[in-house]
Chain A
Amino acid sequence: MIPGAFAYHRPSSIEEAVRLLSKLGEDARVIAGGHSLIPMMKLRLASPTNLIDLGNIANLKGIREDGAEIVIGATTTQHEMIRSDLLARKIPILRETSLLIADPQVRYVGTLGGNIANGDPGNDMPAVMICLGATYEAKGKNERRMAAREFYQGAYFTALEPGEIVTAIRIPVPSAGHGYAYEKLKRKVGDYATAAAAVVLTISGGRVTSCSIGLTNVAETPLWAEEAAKIVTGSTLDAATVKKAVASAEAVTSPASDGRGPAQYRTKMAGVMLARALARARERAGA
């Protein structure tokens, strides 16, 4: 399969990339790892006439601490996230999630920015970023920040405006000793989730003191299961409370029926993934 013809641009700064994007207009796309875009181009579902490669912009890469936040450059790959000691120490759910994305070859190339900005409901990082309360930095005519929880508007529709490029992802570091888990049901290595759940919580004296829950691929957008998280907060995660939280999370899903199963099944699996994620997050939480 051969994509349609395009002109290729390889800017060396984000300013130059933004300038090119605004000059070339709607038929231009930015490309980072390309593992979402190139398959679409091969199937001619996308036919940009200009490709702006972000691969040569050094300061779009890297993972650093900035006060109480971790800042990850948009073209940082999943492989780099897996190998980051800083992330392993501070936000280990990102390593756990990265390891469940696609396969080793794809993770060497696939980027966090591409994963969160594409708006594909099957991508794993958006629900994790919603769970963590991350903020996305974008640059167009101006620079601005958008909350992950307000970024996703529909399948492949996001708050990103034409001419804007996501440059970094800022994540508030969860408190030390927090419990976390990303539970993903998939048919095989490399598959998108049938359903998946991200949980970050803190426990003190046996009771949940804070909790946040994100759900993947059970609606047109990633979901923040705010009500379910409220239900478990204050509880000891006893069976009755978990059951109530699971029912609440299931109620906010609206998955499609597709090759991964009928909608009703995927809703139930979202609940199962949530129950498992809550249990594993609890095991990992420091008391």
Chain B
Amino acid sequence: MAKSQVSMTVNGKKVEQLVEPRTLLIHFLREQLMLTGQHIGCDTSHCGACTVDLDGKSVKSCTIFAVQANGAEIRTIEGMANSDGTLHALQEGFREMHGLQCGFCTPGMIMRAYRLLQENPSPSEEEIRFGISGNLCRCTGYQNIVKAIQFAAAKLKGVPYQEAAE
């Protein structure tokens, strides 16, 4: 099958490549652009490990073809750290709050949490849990992931993080 030319902006960089139409976005990112941060978990659009930010939406990149993302602006975990090399508030939050154990779901969690905080900078605990309901974690029980996102929300607003009383 003839390849198609796609161009998109990934983590601020313009990329142009030839892809087979059937190439899924996650395969394009991981195997052609060598951006292996987003993971393939379930491969059936359930687990959210492959979540990327695409034109202001959180999207499961295992369930969209690269050709559909032609012209899009995409962000992956590789594009999250600040330009001076310091961690993004969400990355810092996951580290500080022990928001990961094996770490497999983390890049997807962070990309989803990024869009959640863009849309709602002060989410309640319930809103965070609802907002990340498309991302599965089999290690943490989610408690510390929620705290990590609360930590990041506070930091992005410039207020001290206060852990809710148990």
Contacts of A35 in B (CB 8 A): 45, 63
**Contact, CB under 8 Å: B21 / A104:** no
The residue on B at minimum CB distance from A8 is B21
Of the candidate stretches B64-72, B83-91, B148-156, the one touching chain A is B64-72
Contacts of A256 in B (CB 8 A): none
> In this assembly, does B37 line the interface, its C-beta being within 8 Å of a C-beta of chain A?
no
Once the chains are docked, how many angstroms separate the CA of A108 from the CA of B60? 10
> In this assembly, does A265 line the interface, its C-beta being within 8 Å of a C-beta of chain B?
no
A34 and B58 contact, Cβ closer than 8 Å, known pairs A6-B22, A7-B1, A104-B134 = no
Contacts of B137 in A (CB 8 A): none
Once the chains are docked, how many angstroms separate the CA of A38 from the CA of B4? 18
**Contact, CB under 8 Å: B112 / A51:** no
Q: 0/1 per residue, A53-68, Cβ < 8 Å to B?
A: 1010000000000000
Once the chains are docked, how many angstroms separate the CA of A34 from the CA of B63? 7
Interface size on A, residues (CB 8 A): 29
Once the chains are docked, how many angstroms separate the CA of A105 from the CA of B133? 9
Contacts of B43 in A (CB 8 A): 1, 42
Contact of B24 among A2, A7, A8 (CB under 8 A): A2
**Contact, CB under 8 Å: B59 / A55:** no
> In this assembly, does B107 line the interface, its C-beta being within 8 Å of a C-beta of chain A?
no
Contacts of B27 in A (CB 8 A): 2
Contacts of A31 in B (CB 8 A): 68
**Contact, CB under 8 Å: B22 / A106:** no
**Interface-central residue, A10, A38, A53, by most chain B CB under 10 Å:** A38
**Contact, CB under 8 Å: A109 / B64:** yes
**Contact, CB under 8 Å: A104 / B112:** yes
**Contact, CB under 8 Å: B133 / A104:** yes
Contacts of A102 in B (CB 8 A): 134
Contact of A53 among B22, B46, B68, B132 (CB under 8 A): B68
What's the count of A-B pairs with C-beta under 8 Å? 83
Once the chains are docked, how many angstroms separate the CA of A108 from the CA of B1? 30
Once the chains are docked, how many angstroms separate the CA of A53 from the CA of B65? 11
B117-132 interface with A by 8 A CB criterion? 130-132
**Contact, CB under 8 Å: A4 / B22:** yes
**Contact, CB under 8 Å: B68 / A34:** yes
Contact of A108 among B21, B44, B57, B65 (CB under 8 A): B57
> In this assembly, does A103 line the interface, its C-beta being within 8 Å of a C-beta of chain B?
yes
The residue on B at minimum CB distance from A103 is B134
A8 and B67 contact, Cβ closer than 8 Å, known pairs A35-B45, A106-B60, A109-B57 = yes
**Contact, CB under 8 Å: B133 / A38:** no
Contact of A51 among B21, B57, B131 (CB under 8 A): B21
> In this assembly, does B48 line the interface, its C-beta being within 8 Å of a C-beta of chain A?
yes
> In this assembly, does B2 line the interface, its C-beta being within 8 Å of a C-beta of chain A?
yes
> In this assembly, does B92 line the interface, its C-beta being within 8 Å of a C-beta of chain A?
no
A190 and B134 contact, Cβ closer than 8 Å, known pairs A1-B43, A34-B63, A53-B68 = yes
A103 and B21 contact, Cβ closer than 8 Å, known pairs A8-B4, A38-B64 = no
**Contact, CB under 8 Å: B63 / A5:** no
> In this assembly, does B20 line the interface, its C-beta being within 8 Å of a C-beta of chain A?
yes
**Contact, CB under 8 Å: B21 / A7:** yes
> In this assembly, does A39 line the interface, its C-beta being within 8 Å of a C-beta of chain B?
yes
The residue on B at minimum CB distance from A109 is B59
Q: How far is the CB of A75 from chain B (nearest CB, A)?
A: 12
Once the chains are docked, how many angstroms separate the CA of A6 from the CA of B67? 12
A-B CB contact pairs (8 Å), 18 listed: A1-B44, A8-B65, A10-B70, A34-B68, A38-B63, A38-B64, A39-B45, A42-B43, A42-B44, A51-B65, A104-B116, A105-B45, A105-B58, A105-B59, A105-B112, A106-B60, A109-B57, A190-B46
| Chain B positions near chain A (C-beta within 8 angstroms) | 1-2, 4, 20-22, 24, 27, 43-46, 48, 51, 57-60, 63-65, 67-68, 70, 112, 116, 130-134
Known: A34-B64, A34-B65, A189-B133. 5 other contacts (CB 8 A): A5-B1, A10-B70, A38-B65, A103-B133, A105-B45
